[in-house]
Amino acid sequence: GAVVSQHPSRVICKSGTSVKIECRSLDFQATTMFWYRQFPKQSLMLMATSNEGSKATYEQGVEKDKFLINHASLTLSTLTVTSAHPEDSSFYICSARSGGATDTQYFGPGTRLTVL
Amino acid sequence: KQEVTQIPAALSVPEGENLVLNCSFTDSAIYNLQWFRQDPGKGLTSLLLIQSSQREQTSGRLNASLDKSSGRSTLYIAASQPGDSATYLCAVRIMGFQKLVFGTGTRLLVSP
């Protein structure tokens, strides 16, 4: 089956620094990738939809200047949390849309971000 | 706005029981519905995907049904095992959109 990887799996950073998370589709090309965040014991909330070669579409209430998304190729999307604060600590999960006949989303293993 | 709710929020059962997890959604104009499993601190594992034109899907001990008109889906787990302990999430893809709307999740604990 289709595989999506995320790097790093967990990161701890100091308040005020920026953190970049990578999402890669390993064996298929993904024209669309999605970024979700999940707080403890809560469900996934969509942050933004990322289309290759164009600007990301952010969900209501998500600051686009704080969560920078780049989708420069068909297999890679990055999420950069700028000037991170403790309230940004969360589990970030990406997914990649396969398109074609199956047209389904495959999810990455997630990245645990802790901001001190 | 599509809202997805799952009942119960948590469930604890002894090993061997058959159980049913429920998912309801407010807008029946969906493209498909998907059930996922999430282990603590991990990503999502897709279990079953039901297209809007389908009524059910089966995989091993799992059976998922879809009643689009009533806005409901159920996930049936037969002969539960401790390894089934996880959080189960349902998600709907809205017709005409790519994004998924996730339910609130059911935390399942199967004790030996």
pLDDT tens for B6-30 read 999 999 999 999 999 999 999 999 9
pLDDT tens for B65-90 read 999 999 999 999 999 999 999 999 99
Q: How far apart are the first and last CA of chain A?
A: 37
DSSP code of residue A53: T
DSSP one-letter string for A25-36:
ESSS--SEEEEE
| CA–CA gap between residue B18 and residue A105 (Å, rounded) | 29
Contacts A9 to B, Cβ<8 Å: none
| Cα A115 to the center of its chain, rounded Å | 17
The beta-carbon neighbor of B42 closest among A41, A45, A110 is: A110
Q: Model confidence at A54, in pLDDT bands (50, 70, 90)? A: confident
Closest CA to B93 of B84, B102, B105, B85: B102
- Pairing status of strand B10-14 against strand B106-111: parallel
Q: With an 8 Å Cβ cutoff, are B44 and A93 in contact?
A: yes
In angstroms, what CA-CA distances link A101 with A19, A69, A98, B35?
Answer: 35, 27, 9, 19
Closest CA to B43 of A86, A11, A36: A36
At A52, which amino acid appears?
E
Give the pLDDT of residue A1. 65
Give the H/E segment covering residue B7: strand B4-7
At B80, which amino acid appears?
S
| CA–CA gap between residue A1 and residue B32 (Å, rounded) | 19
Contact A91, A79 (CB under 8 A): no
Q: Model confidence at A88, in pLDDT bands (50, 70, 90)? A: very high
In angstroms, the separation between the Cα of residue B105 and the nearest Cα of chain A is 6
Q: Model confidence at A22, in pLDDT bands (50, 70, 90)? A: very high
| Tokens 């302990």 -> residue | B85
| CA–CA gap between residue B64 and residue A36 (Å, rounded) | 25
Beta-bridge mates of residue B62: B59, B77
Nearest CA in chain B to A42: B104
